[in-house]
Amino acid sequence: MTTLSIFNQNQPDAPVTVTEDAVEIARLLAARGVRFEQWPTRDLPAGASQEDILAAYGDEVAALKTECGFQTADVVSLTPDHPQKEAFRQKFLDEHTHSEDEVRFFVHGQGLFYLHFDEQVYAVLCQKNDLISVPDGTRHWFDMGPAPEFTCIRLFTNPEGWVASFTGEPIASQLPRYESLAGVA
């Protein structure tokens, strides 16, 4: 289930707020400038191609492109048997920012976004049908867990795609990881 856990930066062992209420999650994130929505389910066959996925969500993707000026959309997918899964996990685990919004729509599976605001960290466990848009300049990181299982639509204004500026701050190593917050062993 989609979950928002809010941690105080100086007490990272236990969240001060936890909610699974999608309306409350959207409200709390909106107060920080983060867009959160849940889109209707589309029936897609296992192993659907990037083209099939983008076509199934074509109206929503087109609306976001028009509204936000995104230039490109693609699909990223990782499975537990991917030979580079650990390298991919490590790539996103350090706090970083982007010069454009980071937009992900979860077609399948789940992943955990950590958003660092002032003295708080918002950990958002996104699930199938969740859209999250992290505003440009927001300090954040992403944890897909040791056995990633997700497919996401990504939207970009920069044709180069995912470009990060790492902060060098150690905060990401101080918060509970995916294994703890997603309830997996």
Computed on alpha carbons and rounded to an integer, the radius of gyration of the chain in Å comes to 16
Q: What is the pLDDT of residue 185?
A: 44
pTM recorded for the entire structure: 0.94
Domain extent listing, the chain: 3-172
What is the SS3 assignment for 75? strand
Average pLDDT for the chain: 93
pLDDT at 170 over 90: yes
Comparing 13 with 30, which gets the higher pLDDT?
30
pLDDT at 131 over 90: yes
Residue 27 has φ and ψ, to the nearest 5°, of: -65, -50
Q: Which of 42, 38, 7, 39 is nearest to 22 (CA)?
A: 38
Beta strands 35-38 and 130-134, pairing class: antiparallel
Q: What is the pLDDT of residue 157?
A: 84
What is the mean predicted confidence (pLDDT) over 29-45? 95
pLDDT at 85 over 80: yes
DSSP 93: S
Q: What is the pLDDT of residue 162?
A: 64
State the first-to-last Cα distance of the chain, in angstroms, to the nearest integer.
Answer: 16
The set of residues, in sequence order, having a beta carbon less than 8 Å from that of 62 and lying 6+ positions away, is: none
The set of residues, in sequence order, having a beta carbon less than 8 Å from that of 87 and lying 6+ positions away, is: none
What is the mean predicted confidence (pLDDT) over 44-50? 91
Residue entry with tokens 């997996």: 184
The set of residues, in sequence order, having a beta carbon less than 8 Å from that of 141 and lying 6+ positions away, is: 92, 93, 94, 95, 96, 113, 114, 172
pLDDT digits over 88-125, tens only? 999 899 999 998 898 999 999 999 999 999 999 999 99
pLDDT at 153 over 80: yes
| C-alpha to C-alpha distances, 114 to 50, 108, 141, 174, nearest whole angstrom | 26, 19, 5, 12
Residue 110 has φ and ψ, to the nearest 5°, of: -155, 165
What is the mean predicted confidence (pLDDT) over 76-85? 94
pLDDT at 166 over 50: yes
pLDDT at 160 over 70: no
In the CATH scheme, what architecture does the domain 3-172 have?
A: Sandwich (2.60)
